[in-house]
Amino acid sequence: MSGPADRVTVVSGGASGIGLGVAKRFKEAGHPVAIFDVQADLVAQAADELGVLGLVADVGDRAAVDAAIEQIRAELGPITIMITSAGINAEGKITEITQDEWDRAIRINLTGTFNCIQPVVPDMIEAGWGRIVTISSMAGQTAAPERPHYAASKAGVIGLTKALSADLSPHGITVNTIPPSIVHTPMAEAGIGAAGIEAMASMVPVRRVSYPEDIAAACEFLCSDDAGFITGQQINVNGGLYV
């Protein structure tokens, strides 16, 4: 990774799946890493196994996120890399989903992303350098069937990413999004099962599904000094499924 290996990195949703893979990669690159997540048992496990700072916080609860960010800043220092991976899946026909299901998807996936980014921006402006990578979804790029709330929340994340790139890039802060397609994680397993995920490999031009390591590798590059001219982009790590 080009650039100093001492940049305080925060990964939301870092206790599982993509976020866990990202936390592992950044820790191995030498950065001080903190994760926060709602699954306390998995937070403790990840903190123990990876040697990262692990906190329990719901990204949809702004006061909880602010408290977690404050604790991370106090223990590790100013935050200059933020990866937002916390998110929930949501499915259902437009004729069937409830207002609560709609609100929950928007609150966690979209407002949760905003909640994680806003409190760390002052640290990045002060440093004159920052990297923000949001994990959106191919569902926010294409016509995703029977998941209007999930698709809208992820399209919102893409829009938020683009808007912030315009505002923050003059400060040396790049803001990009990775919209994954099919990643073999606990979330995907809960939806269609491990065999179901692997069966989807035939749809993907590279003939395999992706793994957290694929997303983490792209994330590491986007957070390097070498990627300083890449901002406001959707970096499609999807095996060519959507181009």
The residues binding ligand NAD (CB under 6 A) are 12-13, 15-19, 37-39, 42, 58-60, 85-88, 108, 112, 135, 137, 180, 182-183, 185-188
Closest distance between ligand NAD and the C-beta of residue 164, in Å? 17
Annotated active-site positions, please? 150
The sign of the torsion formed by the CA atoms of 88, 217, 52, 1 equals negative
Compute the distance between CA of residue 175 and CA of residue 234 in angstroms, rounded to an integer: 10
Closest distance between ligand NAD and the C-beta of residue 55, in Å? 10
Give the residue with the Cβ less far from ligand NAD, 18 or 164.
Answer: 18
The SS3 call for residue 180 is coil
Q: What is the DSSP letter of 234?
A: B
Give the residue with the Cβ less far from ligand NAD, 130 or 140.
Answer: 140
Give the residue with the Cβ less far from ligand NAD, 114 or 228.
Answer: 114
Closest distance between ligand NAD and the C-beta of residue 238, in Å? 9
Task: Record the tokens describing residue 201, joined without a space.
Answer: 């490999």
Q: Of 53, 63, 155, 160, which is closest to residue 113 (Cα–Cα)?
A: 160
Residue 12 φ/ψ, nearest 5 degrees = -80, 145
Closest distance between ligand NAD and the C-beta of residue 39, in Å? 4
Phi-psi region of 58 (alpha: psi -120 to 50; beta: other; left: phi over 0): beta
- Which residues 6+ apart lie within 8 Å of 12 measured at CB? 19, 35, 36, 37, 59, 82, 83, 84, 85, 86, 112, 113, 116
Angle at 99 between CA 96 and CA 100, to 5 degrees: 110
Angle between helices 17-28 and 40-50 (to 10 degrees): 20
Give the residue with the Cβ less far from ligand NAD, 17 or 130.
Answer: 17
Closest distance between ligand NAD and the C-beta of residue 46, in Å? 9
Give the residue with the Cβ less far from ligand NAD, 75 or 213.
Answer: 213
